């Protein structure tokens, strides 16, 4: 016996129970299953009204998943691709910029751990950090190593 077809609302709640979604992303996913008489935007409005769908929670969730591995430009680009714009995006950029250098140092430390000795290795490390979306300033600071690297044990 085949399972009954899920309603649009049930599908939306199933998606939201798995993880936070942006309005743009959820609309795209639900559009595949919408019938002619279904109004996806009305359903999304209902979900937002009941606080089941929230752009703020989605942005916070995405930042928590991505910020430890990627730089500001990469995280912001992903937020924009999911339809997050306006004042929320400006606030997020400001919050991310405070910790970008520390995050770049952490990513660099996990990947390389030692200061480059030649130009080829420095270029490789710089490319890696820039491809991860870190700014040049943050990448340069990260590539200098941690302060503990400069201390020598003289015992």
The whole-number mean pLDDT for each consecutive block of 10 residues of the chain, a chain of 155 residues, reads 81 94 93 84 94 92 92 92 85 86 93 90 95 94 69 42
Nearest by Cα to 92 from 73, 105, 107: 73
Burial of 64 per CB tally in 10 Å (0-12, 13-18, 19+): exposed
Which phi and psi (to 5°) does residue 10 adopt? -65, -40
The reported pLDDT for the residue numbered 46 is 95
Show me where the domains of the chain are located. Answer: 8-53
The reported pLDDT for the residue numbered 152 is 41
| pTM assigned to the model | 0.79
* Cα 130 to Cα 146: distance, rounded to the nearest angstrom: 19
* Cα 125 to Cα 108: distance, rounded to the nearest angstrom: 8
Nearest by Cα to 62 from 30, 24, 28, 33: 24
Give 8-53's CATH code, choosing from 1.25.40, 3.40.50, 1.10.10, 1.10.150.
1.10.10
């Amino acid at each position: 016996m085949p399972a009954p077809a899920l309603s649009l609302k049930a599908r939306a709640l199933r998606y939201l129970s798995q993880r936070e979604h942006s309005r743009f992303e959820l609309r795209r996913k639900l559009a595949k299953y919408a019938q002619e008489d279904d109004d996806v935007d009305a359903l999304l409005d209902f979900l937002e009204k009941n606080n089941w769908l929230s752009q703020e929670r989605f942005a916070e969730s995405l930042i928590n998943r991505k910020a430890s591995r990627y730089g500001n430009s990469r995280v912001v680009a992903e937020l924009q691709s999911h339809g997050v714009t306006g004042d929320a995006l400006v606030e997020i950029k400001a919050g991310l910029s405070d910790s970008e250098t520390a995050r770049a140092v952490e990513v660099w430390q996990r990947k390389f751990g030692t200061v480059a000795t030649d130009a080829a290795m420095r270029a490789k490390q710089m490319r890696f950090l820039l491809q991860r979306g870190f700014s040049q300033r943050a990448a340069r600071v990260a590539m200098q190593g941690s302060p503990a690297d400069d201390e020598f044990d003289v015992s």
